[in-house]
Amino acid sequence: MARDAGLAVQFEFLSEVANGTFPVFDLQRQHLFRMVELMRRYANLPMDLADASLVVLAEHLGHGRILTCDRRDFSIYRWNNNNLFESLLIEEV
């Protein structure tokens, strides 16, 4: 039952994206080359496709403010080769 509810939410989300409710970043050819470069650079972690796309998006947007639970990797990754990411996840004290 929970699986069906999860699928329903995913279907609704995809429908909203298709309807233009949420803007979707349009990956261009140069972004894909950059993602390969990043994934090679951070292969020791390793950096996956999703993380590489977020770094490219940060470079496109010109900031590294990110909401992620992956603090370890995003404390190591750099956008534009030397800029730190800023975690928007509030840490509990």
Q: Tell me: the pLDDT tens digits for 7-62?
A: 999 999 999 999 999 888 999 999 999 999 999 999 999 999 999 999 999 999 99
The Cα–Cα gap between 68 and 18 comes to 24
pTM value? 0.80
Distance CA 87, CA 66 (A): 5
- Is the pLDDT at 67 greater than 60? The verdict is yes
Can you list the positions of beta strands (E) in the chain? Answer: 65-66, 86-87
Enumerate the H helices of 1-93 as residue ranges.
2-18, 29-41, 49-61, 71-76
Q: Of the candidates 48, 55, 57, 65, which has an alpha carbon nearest to the alpha carbon of residue 26? A: 57
pLDDT at res. 50: 93
Cβ atoms of residues 68 and 53 within 8 Å: no
pLDDT at residue 93 greater than cutoff 60:
no
